[in-house]
Amino acid sequence: MLIRVAVITPEDFAPRITAHAEHFDQIKFQAYLYRNPMECGALVEQIQGCDVLLFAGPLPYYFANQRKSGKRLPSVYIPSDEYTLTLNLGHILLNRSEGLRALSVDTPKRSYLEQAVAEWELDSSQWCVTDYSQIIDGAGTVFDPEQIFHFHRENYQSGRCNLVLTSVDYVYEQLKLLGIPCINMIVPEKSIRETVARAAHIGQLMISENAQIAVGLAAINQLDGDGEGAKPDAGIMLQQLLLELGKETDASIQQLGLDQFILYGTRGSIEQMTDHFTRMPVMGSMEHLFGVTISMGFGFGMTAKEAEAHARIGLFHARKQKESSAFLVTHEKEVIGPLGAANKAYHLKSEDRELLHIAELTGLSIATVSKLSSFIKLRRENRFTATDLSEYLQLSRRSAERILKKMIEQHFVESVGEEQPYKQGRPRAVYRSNF
* Residue in 279, 281, 284, 298 with CA at minimum distance from that of residue 234: 284
Q: What is the pLDDT of residue 81?
A: 92
Mean pLDDT along residues 138-146: 85
Least confident of 86-90, 416-420, 427-431: 416-420
Mean pLDDT along residues 120-142: 88
For residue 161, name the pLDDT band (cuts at 50, 70, 90).
Answer: very high
Check whether 151 has a pLDDT greater than 50: yes
Residue 51: C-alpha distances to residues 38, 48, 73, 78, 343 (Å): 23, 9, 7, 17, 19
What is the three-state SS of 296-326?
Answer: EEEEEECCHHHHHHHHHHHHHHHHCCCCCEE
Cis peptide before 60 (omega within 30 of 0): no
Check whether 134 has a pLDDT greater than 80: yes
Half-sphere exposure of 394 (CA within 13 A, CB side): 12
Check whether 229 has a pLDDT greater than 50: no
Check whether 192 has a pLDDT greater than 80: yes
Q: Could you please report the per-residue DSSP string of 100-113?
A: TSSEEEEES-HHHH
Residue 14 CB coordination number (10 Å): 17
182 against 241, higher pLDDT = 182
Tell me the average pLDDT of the chain. Answer: 84
Mean pLDDT along residues 302-329: 86
Set out the domains of the chain in order of their start, with CATH numbers. Answer: 3-78+189-208 (3.40.50.2300), 82-184 (3.40.50), 211-343 (3.30.70.270), 353-433 (1.10.10.10)
> Which residues on adjacent β-strands are paired with residue 129?
105
Q: How many residues does the chain have?
A: 435
Q: What are phi and psi of 21, to 5 degrees?
A: -60, -35
356 against 174, higher pLDDT = 174
For residue 38, name the pLDDT band (cuts at 50, 70, 90).
Answer: confident
Q: What is the pLDDT of residue 44?
A: 87
pTM > 0.85: yes or no: no
Tell me which range, 62-76, 132-146, 270-284, is most confidently predicted by mean pLDDT: 132-146
What stretch of H or E contains 347? strand 345-347
